[in-house]
């Protein structure tokens, strides 16, 4: 980087790259991985801004702005992201650009509460991080596969940057080694290509750009700045493979799922509470409750789901107790913490488990009796 390589120069280069890639002859649709944080917001901004410089009759490649909702997002962050998505939806039509907002979310039977309170999965931790795959990777992967099935291939635009961390820098470098032009093949999804237009920008570059720009779809980026300031951190990023999973639950302050127990202490939610979001206090307390109950052997089955001895699922008593407390918390806060459909699916899972456990117990008794009879012959 030289003195002549200023931020405006770097942004002009990025816009040229985005424009050139958009105008390539292939018909791969674009999928922008949008988390609502500063990096994915800048990618969305630059793409829409660049599309406006393309002649209307050349704006033929569809662009999907895909945002995943885990259904247990921090209420503050969820409200912020939903406000931005709604603003984009309401104003993007007037810009005459082929951008469509897509919201993905886990299937009801794969939601956080159905897995934890229905199937009895203990609260996620660093060694059993079951949540990321079911709540983030699978929902978005389904949409990506639909686009690949329809068009043969797709381009995934991500707001990853080498300056984020040494791990991220390594990931960017690995993709660069395999790249074909501007695109790199996705390691897990056949037919998906990764385009990382802002990979060489610094964190300061991102903030300087957003602070001095107005969203093409209207409004300002002041709310983004305020959110980061109050949360003392950043968003849990957009992920589409298990290689990205460690991005959730790191020691840094991040706003994401309010139920996240992968971290020992949720610095983000505590910072938001300190900034005046007192309504998050009961959620922070319940998050600790999930962790405490999951780590207490008294609330865990002594047999794993595979029938082997060991610390198994949460007991029915623990699941029922936590569900009752969660429903009470929903009434207390007025927040949609769990849906009635999820409650029904949880209760149905309990019924299935009871039948399976009864069958397992009968089988064990039968095997024991068979052994006893055999020993007498």
The answer to whether 224 and 207 have CB atoms below 8 angstroms apart is no
The predicted-structure confidence for 278-308, as pLDDT tens digits, reads as follows 999 999 999 999 999 999 999 999 988 877 8
Structural domain includes residue 286: no
Residue 55's domain comprises: 7-247
Phi and psi dihedrals of 68, rounded to 5?
-95, 130
The predicted-structure confidence for 232-261, as pLDDT tens digits, reads as follows 655 555 566 666 544 555 444 456 899 999
d(CA 255, CA 234): 6
Partners of 67 in beta bridges? 103
The answer to whether 261 and 248 have CB atoms below 8 angstroms apart is no
Collapsed DSSP state (helix, strand, coil) of residue 184: strand
d(CA 281, CA 287): 10
Q: What CATH number is given to the structural domain containing 170?
A: 3.40.50.620
| Cα-Cα-Cα-Cα dihedral sign, residues 175, 181, 182, 188 | negative
The predicted-structure confidence for 31-62, as pLDDT tens digits, reads as follows 999 999 999 999 999 999 999 999 999 999 99
Confidence at residue 309, expressed as pLDDT on a 0 to 100 scale: 87
d(CA 156, CA 145): 12
What single DSSP character describes residue 133?
A: I
Which two three-digit tokens encode residue 173? 């470098």
Structural domain includes residue 233: yes
Report whether pLDDT(70) > 80: yes
Structural domain includes residue 128: yes
Confidence at residue 130, expressed as pLDDT on a 0 to 100 scale: 95
Pick the range with the lowest mean pLDDT from 10-19, 110-119, 306-315.
Answer: 306-315
Structural domain includes residue 135: yes
Q: What is the pTM of this model?
A: 0.87
- The full DSSP string for 360-372 is HHHHHHHHHHHHH
Structural domain includes residue 96: yes
Provide the domain count of the chain.
1
């Amino acid at each position: 980087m030289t003195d002549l390589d200023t931020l405006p120069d770097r942004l002009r280069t990025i816009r040229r790259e985005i424009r050139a890639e958009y105008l390539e002859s292939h018909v791969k649709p674009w999928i922008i991985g949008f988390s609502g944080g500063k990096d994915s917001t800048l990618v969305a901004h630059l793409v829409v801004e660049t599309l406006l410089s393309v002649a209307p009759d050349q704006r033929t490649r569809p662009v999907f702005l895909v945002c995943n909702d885990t259904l247990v997002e921090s209420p503050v962050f969820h409200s912020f992201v939903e406000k931005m998505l709604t603003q984009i939806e309401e104003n993007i039509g007037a810009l005459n650009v082929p951008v469509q907002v897509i919201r993905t979310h886990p299937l009801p039977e794969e939601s956080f509460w159905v897995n934890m309170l229905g199937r009895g999965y203990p609260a996620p931790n660093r060694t059993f991080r079951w949540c990321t795959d079911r709540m983030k990777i699978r929902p978005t992967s389904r949409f990506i596969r639909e686009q690949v099935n329809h068009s043969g291939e797709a381009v995934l635009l991500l707001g990853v940057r080498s300056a984020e961390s040494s791990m991220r820098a390594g990931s960017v470098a690995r993709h660069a080694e395999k790249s074909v032009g501007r695109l790199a093949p996705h390691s897990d999804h056949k037919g998906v290509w990764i385009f990382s237009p802002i990979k060489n920008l610094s964190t300061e570059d991102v903030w300087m750009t957003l602070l001095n720009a107005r969203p093409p779809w209207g409004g300002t980026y002041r709310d983004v700045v305020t959110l980061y300031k109050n949360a003392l951190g950043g968003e849990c990023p957009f992920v589409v493979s298990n290689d990205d999973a460690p991005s959730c639950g790191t020691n840094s302050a991040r706003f994401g799922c309010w139920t996240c127990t992968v971290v020992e202490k949720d610095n983000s939610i505590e910072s938001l509470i300190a900034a005046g979001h007192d309504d998050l206090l009961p959620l922070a307390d319940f998050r600790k409750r999930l962790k405490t109950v999951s780590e207490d052997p008294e609330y865990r089955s002594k047999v794993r789901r595979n029938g082997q001895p060991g610390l198994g699922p949460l007991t029915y008593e623990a699941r029922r107790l936590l569900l009752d407390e969660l429903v009470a918390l929903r009434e207390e806060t007025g927040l949609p913490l769990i849906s009635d459909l999820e409650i029904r699916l949880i209760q149905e899972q309990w019924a299935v488990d009871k039948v399976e456990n009864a069958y397992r117990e009968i089988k064990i008794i039968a095997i024991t009796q068979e052994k006893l009879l055999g020993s007498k012959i």
